[in-house]
């Protein structure tokens, strides 16, 4: 198909600012009279605030005020609190102090006496499940959507920590198919216990926020992944109406799931500013970002999988203890089960889940929450099964690969489309798999070659959101994007679906985004890899509305039936006489004079309140195209990826080098090649981090975190990743998206993690470590035959 | 000046770290002042004739007790120097010497306590009511040990037991050839242990200095000799002790 | 608790002579802080984990940076940047061991700014200590790392005495192997300290990693002719390849004659509070060829006496493997 925009690269409007350094992130703003807030956070993993004595601090010159939990909205456990009188992890914000400069604020913190009573705490979920284990919160120790207490018998704990089949009760369970029959049909049955570390999101931009009040409106400059989606939540947190919130998040220096919507800190300066009557800047430090910035849910689990003689996955029994941290979280286990159900299409499956609270950093969704942890577990198992059955690991994956008839989750629901085998084959050819796999295990001095393939999945599309486009009398097409600028460029690339339909040159398009005052429509959360699918649809719907209105205006002005009109070269014309037509500028001018639905004086009732306000704000400025996406969608929208890796592992040092890495995307039609490349490469870097580097460490004796800086947490450095990461895409259109696109951001990480772990395993003759990260110490210990320093289920193993 | 040093524990709460070592200089100054004062007083007092060391030798300390005393003396000195020198900035590998000497001291003290209880008359060493008359009544002469000696011994007993007790407690939180450290003591308790260990050390420094001072004073030197060779002369016995309360055997 | 982020108030002295710097540092005592490249300094100060009252900046002092030839060896000013060391032709020709070690420090940006002196006197990376806790090394009376459930993967397997921190310096390991001499000035007086004696363990001084005292300024490092042009081996194993500290590193210097080793130095980093000379290995390889067989035969000597903690058993085979590699190369 000959397209103007879809599948073509372009320069998103935020690029120039990023390259030149002129981009303004939240903490780059300054307003008159601004004061600086600083947080006083809990030094204890769990405590009760008995008294706060801030007298000395408030008496200091330059100190403007203090904000405590009593000043902000109340919360019920385990909802995240803005400020708290019952801190539940080291670093939990108790109060904030504001001063004329940051140094004074920091000095003031030293003078504040907070009297804390220590409460029982726990940093390892399994410790909380022990018969006399501590509960992370006063209200309980598990959160299966409600706070409860649950303990296992001592024997259950012992079995679990030694890696045997769990016998402890699990509060959540789902299943489908006949599990027993599935294992009976299996030629090979594998049982493995596993641990995946729940490490920090580490957004490069800490979540700094500036807020002030002006004429009854609260202005918030923040760092969020989403834009419009944040508005209702933040307004509710601030206790104001949505119309009274001005929210600016033009740039976001990384979120990875930790800044999807309104997080507590985002509302803090608003409260503080209201209390002290001054604009408040809260700059979050790197260390604080490790506290309030959240982390991935950690898994300790056990899995049993059956494989038939031909290599089909016949049954999977999955048991996961989730580390939720101290607050609301916990979709990861179910998502992990979902990923297994779609990627391997097992005949029968059961998932049991024990969501346990701990006094560690709050957890939240992190790039492929659940799917990517389980990729690190199941993919190496696939290799082990392949080895046992004498199959090629790639063939084994092809055999189980989901196609468009695939089903997933407990309800075995349908999907829109899937072409995983095509992805595997395309990658295998480009990577030269059949030759490379022969090199696996080859020794060269102390080095041995490893080759691995890994798969990733995430549901990658939603529907029901709004689109808003506008044609102005100057002939410009204004694309109003409520999508957040989380770094994927989808805020811009999805609007190109509208430009495509309306056949407008990109030069004549004006993008509006990043600020509620730009009149932005209601948009989905920029998470779950959904934006590309969701908002190409919404933009298409809005463009369709605009197109129809143009035709009607033209027909009214020039005669004939609107159905006889078409558009090209930014003109709407009569197909029977192309000379008869109006330029887009003329149509827009007519729309303004026509009023009504044309110029946004009226609008469909089913659009969201946020979109309604946006249209109201734009009314009379041009021809408005607006609509809610009600296009059909037949099922879950899968985002699928495959990673191929060749590594060289040094058996003496435990270090490995990634020789080559290839990422393959199966995400329908490619909308924005450079954006996709960024996702696949970035996903690979994240995958490398998860597979072999990034960690989260707590001292169980006092609940102190070790990982509060880049150095301790160890995200990959530029010499830990391959110098170039190749990528390709299957590029087969999805039937439920007007441009054929699906999302893909998250699985790109899981498939990379899996590929690296599989490659490590292949270098070691099939040995599975069953944990992430696989660090040099694990390898050196394994190769030397001396065993690891800790039990199979141990977390905090550094 | 602070009496104790205070730090923040792992959770930022104020916790005692131990005794303030500034007190070391106070103790040294006070002890020095006491010695100088005593020297001055003694210089002004009329000098009584010294009893003769000639004549029959009466047994004051059995060989085994003398051995105990000197082993203990050496270990206390080693403990004091290894414990205090690093604090005043003389850095060396002191800890192993310190705890080995501590174990030796503990062993000898245990031995001494058992021997005193079962084979000796511990009462000889405890201050009794009549001992208190000694300083005010020239005619009151002590039994085997004078009030000053008993006082010194009793004070030493308290301090040594304290320093040993706290020392053993601190053993639990360090690695030794027999065990690796535990978390048996929380930081507040640990602070108390260090404080008592340090405070008793300061007391021992003062007492030891006084003890050494008296041991080398001319009129007491025969006691020092008796701690080396075991005997005092009949004359020394007669002029310093009440034979009714202590009549030692002839030294063998 | 506060997570600090801005520089606290601090007085800044910028002397132009070593004598003045020394006088200032001595007068300030424990309230003072010597500033070289600042790569260790600013972390401590901004975190307020250390709170000196004044900094003595050595940047304006002439004559303590740069590289010059002396008596067949080299004299390297303490303020010489690590990047300069990695690129210097004389060092690369005769003492490539040091160039290799300096080239493995942190990241290019840090090497541009960081100095040799700073890399040698930087403080340990024990995370408990860096958190600002009042541990032994910070003058307290507890070690949080060496406790029954302490997180101590990166900590010592040798020479622990209450504190189990390890030497973080890559160049320190190389300099001990090169029998370097540290030139330390205090007032007008100059001391020459063998590299090996420059570093001290917790048994001797639990709060300082070097012999430097208030008023001491490390001005230069001298590399003696003894090892000029010898065969060298340096390897650093760290979790990450950039901006990380060694899990274990090794520096080797060898003089061979007629196919056998005549003289050797082998020093491991990150296994003890000081760079650890592997004397037993050094003695065992004299007279033997530098090859795989010799490496395999002596490797176990390297880790003799190691006392691993909860999470660092891996350092034993890793050390042995590095010895093998040094001898194989």
Question: Token pair for residue A299?
Answer: 């898994």
Q: How far apart are CA A453 and CA A661, in angstroms?
A: 10
Question: Token pair for residue A91?
Answer: 């670093």
Q: How many beta-carbon contacts under 8 Å exist across B and C?
A: 45
C111 touches chain A (CB under 8 A): no
Q: How confident is the model at residue B55 (pLDDT cuts 50, 70, 90)?
A: confident
Would the CB atoms of C1 and A714 count as touching at under 8 Å? no
Selected for mutation to probe chain B from C131, C140, C208 (highest B CB count within 10 Å) is C140
Cα A371 to Cα A333, A462, A753, B59, C289, distances in angstroms: 8, 18, 11, 89, 54
C148 touches chain A (CB under 8 A): yes
Give the distance from residue C90's alpha carbon to the nearest chain A alpha carbon, in angstroms: 27
Task: Return the pLDDT at B252.
Answer: 59
Around Cβ A445, how many Cβ atoms within 10 Å? 11
- Residue closest to C179 by CA, chosen among C265, C302, C280, C116: C265
Q: Where are the beta strands (DSSP E) in A344-465?
A: 348-356, 407-408, 413-414, 443-444, 447-459
Q: Which residues of C touch B173 (CB under 8 A)?
A: 142
Around Cβ B213, how many Cβ atoms within 10 Å? 16
Q: What is chain B's alpha carbon radius of gyration, rounded to the nearest angstrom?
A: 21
**Chains that contact A by 3+ CB pairs under 8 Å?**
B, C
CA angle B82–B87–B88, rounded 5-degree value: 105
CA dihedral C144, C149, C150, C152 (to 10 degrees): 160
User: Percentage of residues in chain A with pLDDT exceeding 90?
Assistant: 99
Side-chain half-sphere of A171: how many Cα atoms within 13 Å?
19
Q: pLDDT (tens digit, 9 = 90+) per residue, A19-71? A: 999 999 999 999 999 999 999 999 999 999 999 999 999 999 999 999 999 99
Picking from C3, C107, C247, the nearest residue to A41 by CB comes out as C3
Q: pLDDT (tens digit, 9 = 90+) per residue, B164-179? A: 999 999 988 888 888 8
Q: How far apart are CA A251 and CA A254, in angstroms?
A: 9
Picking from C7, C313, C321, the nearest residue to A789 by CB comes out as C313
CA dihedral C263, C266, C267, C271 (to 10 degrees): -150
Q: Which residues of B touch A702 (CB under 8 A)?
A: 10-11
A706 touches chain B (CB under 8 A): no
Q: How confident is the model at residue B126 (pLDDT cuts 50, 70, 90)?
A: confident
Task: Return the pLDDT at B172.
Answer: 82
Q: pLDDT (tens digit, 9 = 90+) per residue, C260-294? A: 999 999 999 999 999 999 999 999 999 999 999 99
Question: Token pair for residue A734?
Answer: 């999805």
Q: Report, as an integer, the average pLDDT of A112-125.
A: 97
Picking from A40, A716, A780, the nearest residue to C318 by CB comes out as A780
Spatial contact of A92 and A77, defined as CB atoms under 8 Å apart? no
Q: Which residues of C touch A798 (CB under 8 A)?
A: 151, 153-154, 311
Chain C residues whose C-beta sits inside 8 Å of any chain B C-beta: 1, 133-134, 139-144, 146-149, 160-162, 200, 203-205
Q: How far apart are CA B40 and CA C247, in angstroms?
A: 65
Around Cβ A75, how many Cβ atoms within 10 Å? 17
What's the predicted TM-score (pTM) here? 0.95
C143 touches chain A (CB under 8 A): no
Q: How confident is the model at residue B242 (pLDDT cuts 50, 70, 90)?
A: confident
Q: Which residues of B touch A118 (CB under 8 A)?
A: 11
Its sign, for the CA torsion B197, B203, B209, B215, is negative
B87 touches chain C (CB under 8 A): no
Element (H, E) at A93: strand A93-99
Task: Return the pLDDT at A393.
Answer: 98
Q: How far apart are CA A711 and CA A688, in angstroms?
A: 16
Question: Which chain C residue has its CA at the smallest distance from A283's CA?
Answer: C5
Q: Which residues of B touch A44 (CB under 8 A)?
A: 11-12
Low-confidence ranges of chain C (pLDDT < 50): none
Picking from B8, B17, B181, the nearest residue to C147 by CB comes out as B181
Q: Which residues of B touch C148 (CB under 8 A)?
A: 180-183
User: How far is residue A132 CA from its own chain's centroid?
Assistant: 36
Question: Which chain A residue has its CA at the smallest distance from C250's CA?
Answer: A653
Q: Which residues of A touch C239 (CB under 8 A)?
A: 693, 714, 775-776
- Mapped onto helix, strand or coil, the DSSP state of residue B33 is helix
Residues B171-177: contacts with CB within 8 Å, 24+ apart? B171/B99, B173/C142, B174/B95, B174/B99, B174/C162, B175/C146, B175/C160, B176/B99
Spatial contact of A523 and A229, defined as CB atoms under 8 Å apart? yes
Give the distance from residue C92's alpha carbon to the nearest chain B alpha carbon, in angstroms: 38
- Residue closest to A296 by CA, chosen among A324, A320, A319: A324
Would the CB atoms of A116 and B11 count as touching at under 8 Å? yes
Q: How confident is the model at residue B49 (pLDDT cuts 50, 70, 90)?
A: confident
Element (H, E) at C176: helix C170-177
Residue B121 has pLDDT above 90, yes or no: no
By CB neighbour count within 10 A (0-12 exposed, 13-18 middle, 19+ buried), where does C68 fall?
exposed
Total number of residues shown for chain C:
329
Question: Which chain B residue has its CA at the smallest distance from C2's CA?
Answer: B12
B244 touches chain A (CB under 8 A): no
Q: pLDDT (tens digit, 9 = 90+) per residue, C110-150? A: 999 999 999 999 999 999 999 999 999 999 999 999 999 99
Q: How far apart are CA B35 and CA B29, in angstroms?
A: 10
Find where tokens 């249209």 sit: A615
Q: How far apart are CA C33 and CA C31, in angstroms?
A: 7
Residue B122 has pLDDT above 80, yes or no: no
Omega into A78 within 30° of 0, i.e. cis? yes
Residue B133 has pLDDT above 90, yes or no: no
Q: Which residues of B touch A43 (CB under 8 A)?
A: 11-12
Residue A510 has pLDDT above 80, yes or no: yes
Q: How far apart are CA B97 and CA C200, in angstroms?
A: 18
Q: Which residues of C touch A720 (CB under 8 A)?
A: 240-242
Would the CB atoms of A702 and B10 count as touching at under 8 Å? yes
Find where tokens 């099939």 sit: A766
DSSP string covering B165-212: HHHHHHHTTS--SS------S-HHHHHHHHHHHHHHHHHHHHHHHHHH
Q: Which residues of B touch A701 (CB under 8 A)?
A: 183
Q: How far apart are CA A635 and CA A416, in angstroms?
A: 5
Q: pLDDT (tens digit, 9 = 90+) per residue, A403-461? A: 999 999 999 999 999 999 999 999 999 999 999 999 999 999 999 999 999 999 999 99
């Amino acid at each position: 198909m000959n397209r103007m925009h879809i599948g073509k690269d372009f320069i998103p409007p935020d690029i120039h600012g990023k390259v030149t350094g002129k981009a303004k992130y939240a903490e780059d703003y300054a307003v008159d009279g601004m004061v600086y807030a600083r947080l006083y956070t809990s030094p204890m993993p769990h405590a009760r605030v008995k008294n706060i004595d801030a007298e000395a601090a408030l008496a200091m010159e330059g100190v403007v005020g203090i904000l405590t939990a009593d000043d902000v909205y109340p919360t019920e456990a385990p909802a995240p609190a803005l400020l708290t009188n019952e801190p539940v992890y080291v670093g939990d914000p108790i109060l904030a102090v504001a001063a004329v400069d940051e140094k004074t604020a920091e000095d003031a913190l030293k003078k504040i006496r907070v009297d804390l009573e220590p409460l029982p705490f726990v940093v390892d979920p399994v410790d909380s499940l022990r018969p006399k284990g501590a509960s992370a919160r006063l209200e309980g120790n598990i959160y299966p959507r409600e706070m409860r207490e649950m303990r296992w018998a001592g024997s259950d704990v012992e079995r679990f920590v030694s890696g045997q089949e769990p016998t402890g009760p699990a509060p959540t369970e789902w299943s489908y198919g006949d599990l027993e029959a599935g294992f009976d049909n299996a030629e090979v049955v594998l049982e493995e216990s596993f641990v995946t570390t729940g490490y920090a999101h580490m957004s490069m931009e800490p979540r700094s926020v500036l807020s002030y009040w002006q004429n009854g409106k609260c202005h918030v400059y923040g760092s969020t992944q989403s834009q419009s989606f944040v508005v209702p939540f933040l307004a509710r947190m601030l206790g104001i109406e949505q119309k009274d919130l001005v929210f600016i998040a033009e740039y976001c220096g990384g979120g990875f799931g930790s800044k999807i919507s309104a997080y507590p800190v985002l509302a803090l300066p608003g409260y503080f500013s209201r209390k002290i009557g001054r604009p408040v800047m809260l700059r979050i430090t790197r260390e604080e970002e490790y506290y309030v910035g959240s982390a991935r849910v950690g898994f300790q689990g056990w899995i049993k999988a059956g494989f038939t003689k031909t290599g089909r996955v016949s049954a999977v029994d999955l048991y996961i203890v989730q580390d939720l941290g101290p607050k609301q979280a916990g979709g990861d286990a179910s998502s992990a089960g979902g990923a297994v159900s779609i990627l391997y299409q097992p005949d029968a499956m059961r998932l049991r889940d024990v969501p346990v609270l701990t006094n560690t950093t709050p957890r939240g969704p992190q790039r492929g929450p659940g799917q990517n942890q389980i990729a690190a577990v199941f993919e190496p198992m696939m290799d082990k099964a392949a080895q046992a059955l004498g199959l090629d690991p790639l063939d084994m994956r092809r055999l189980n690969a989901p196609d468009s008839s695939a089903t997933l989750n407990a309800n075995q629901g349908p999907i829109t489309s899937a072409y995983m085998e095509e992805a595997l084959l395309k990658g295998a050819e480009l990577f030269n798999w059949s030759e490379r796999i022969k090199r696996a295990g080859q020794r060269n001095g102390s080095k041995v070659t490893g080759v691995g393939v890994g798969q990733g999945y995430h549901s990658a599309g939603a529907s029901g959101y709004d689109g808003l486009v506008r044609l102005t009398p100057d002939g410009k097409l204004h694309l109003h994007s409520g999508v957040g600028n989380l770094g994927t460029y989808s805020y811009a690339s999805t609007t190109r679906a509208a430009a495509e339909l309306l056949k407008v040159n990109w030069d004549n398009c004006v993008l509006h985004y990043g600020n509620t005052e730009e009149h932005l429509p209601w948009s989905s959360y920029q998470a779950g890899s959904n934006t590309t699918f969701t908002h190409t649809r919404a933009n298409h719907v809005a463009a369709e509305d605009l197109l129809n209105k143009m035709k009607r205006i033209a027909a009214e002005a020039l005669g004939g039936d609107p159905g006889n009109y078409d558009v090209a070269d930014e003109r709407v014309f009569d197909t029977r006489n192309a000379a008869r037509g109006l330029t887009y500028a003329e149509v827009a001018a007519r729309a303004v004079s026509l009023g009504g639905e044309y110029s946004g004086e009226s609008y469909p009732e089913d659009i969201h309140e946020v979109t309604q306000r946006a249209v109201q704000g734009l009314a009379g400025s041009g021809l408005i195209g607006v609509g809610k996406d009600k296009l059909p969608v037949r099922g879950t929208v899968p985002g699928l990826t495959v990673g191929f890796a060749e590594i060289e592992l040094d058996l003496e040092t435990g270090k490995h080098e990634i020789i080559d890495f290839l990422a393959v995307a199966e995400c329908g039609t490619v909308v924005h090649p450079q954006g996709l490349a960024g996702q696949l490469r970035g996903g690979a870097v994240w995958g490398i981090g998860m597979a072999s580097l990034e960690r989260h460490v707590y001292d169980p004796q006092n609940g102190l975190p070790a990982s509060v800086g880049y150095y301790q947490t160890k995200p990959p450095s530029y010499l830990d990743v391959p110098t170039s990461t190749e990528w390709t895409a299957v590029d087969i259109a999805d039937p439920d998206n007007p441009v054929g696109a699906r999302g893909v951001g998250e699985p790109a990480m899981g498939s990379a993690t899996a590929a690296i772990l599989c490659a490590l395993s292949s270098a070691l003759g099939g040995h599975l470590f069953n944990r992430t990260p696989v660090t040099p110490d694990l390898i050196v210990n394994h190769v030397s035959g001396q065993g690891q320093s800790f039990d199979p289920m141990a977390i905090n193993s550094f | 000046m602070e009496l104790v040093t205070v730090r923040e524990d792992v959770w930022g709460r104020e916790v005692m770290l131990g005794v303030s070592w500034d007190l070391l200089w106070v103790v040294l100054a006070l002890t020095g002042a006491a010695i100088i004062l005593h020297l001055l007083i003694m210089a002004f007092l009329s000098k009584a004739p010294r009893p003769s060391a000639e004549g029959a030798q009466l047994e004051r300390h059995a060989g085994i007790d003398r051995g105990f005393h000197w082993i203990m003396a050496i270990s206390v000195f080693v403990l004091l120097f290894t414990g205090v020198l690093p604090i005043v900035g003389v850095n060396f590998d002191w800890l192993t010497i310190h705890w080995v000497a501590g174990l030796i001291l503990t062993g000898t003290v245990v031995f001494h306590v058992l021997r005193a209880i079962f084979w000796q008359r511990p009462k000889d060493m405890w201050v009794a009511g009549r001992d208190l008359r000694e300083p005010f009544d020239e005619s009151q002469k002590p039994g085997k040990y004078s009030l000053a000696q008993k006082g010194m011994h009793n004070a030493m007993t308290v301090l040594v037991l304290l320093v040993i007790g706290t020392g053993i407690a601190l053993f639990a939180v360090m690695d030794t050839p027999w065990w690796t450290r535990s978390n048996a003591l929380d930081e507040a308790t640990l602070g108390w242990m260090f404080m008592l260990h340090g405070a008793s050390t300061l007391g021992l420094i003062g007492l030891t200095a006084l003890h050494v001072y008296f041991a080398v004073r001319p009129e007491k030197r025969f006691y020092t000799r008796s701690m080396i060779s075991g005997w005092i002369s009949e004359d020394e016995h007669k002029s310093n002790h009440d034979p009714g309360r202590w009549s030692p055997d002839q030294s063998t | 608790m506060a997570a600090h982020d801005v520089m606290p108030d601090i007085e800044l002295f910028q002397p132009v002579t070593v004598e003045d710097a020394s006088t200032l540092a001595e007068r300030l005592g424990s309230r003072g802080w010597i500033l070289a490249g600042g790569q260790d300094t600013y972390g401590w100060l901004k975190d307020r984990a250390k709170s000196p009252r004044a900094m003595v900046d050595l940047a304006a002092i002439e004559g303590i940076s740069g590289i010059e030839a002396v008596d067949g060896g080299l004299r390297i000013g303490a303020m010489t940047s690590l990047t300069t060391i990695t690129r210097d032709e004389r060092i690369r020709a005769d003492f490539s061991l040091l160039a290799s070690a300096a080239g493995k420090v942190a990241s290019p940006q840090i090497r541009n700014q960081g100095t040799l002196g700073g890399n040698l006197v930087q403080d340990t990376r024990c995370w408990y200590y860096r958190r600002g806790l009042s541990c032994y090394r910070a003058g307290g009376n507890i070690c949080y790392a060496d406790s029954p459930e302490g997180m101590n993967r990166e900590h010592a397997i040798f020479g622990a005495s209450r504190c189990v921190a390890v030497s973080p310096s890559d160049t320190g390991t190389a300099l001990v192997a090169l029998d370097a001499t540290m030139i330390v000035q205090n007032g007008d007086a100059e001391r020459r300290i063998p590299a090996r004696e420059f570093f001290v363990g917790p048994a001797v001084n639990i709060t300082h990693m070097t012999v430097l005292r208030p008023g001491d300024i490390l001005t230069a490092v001298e590399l003696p002719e003894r090892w000029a042009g010898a065969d060298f081996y340096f390897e650093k194993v760290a979790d990450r390849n950039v901006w990380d500290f060694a899990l274990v590193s090794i520096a080797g210097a060898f003089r061979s004659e007629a196919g056998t080793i005549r003289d050797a130095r082998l020093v491991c980093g990150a296994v003890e509070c000081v760079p650890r000379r592997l004397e037993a290995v050094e003695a065992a390889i004299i007279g033997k060829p530098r090859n795989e067989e010799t490496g395999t035969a002596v490797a176990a000597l390297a880790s003799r006496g190691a006392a691993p903690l909860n999470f660092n058993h891996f350092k034993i085979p890793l050390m042995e493997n590095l010895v093998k590699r040094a001898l194989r190369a």
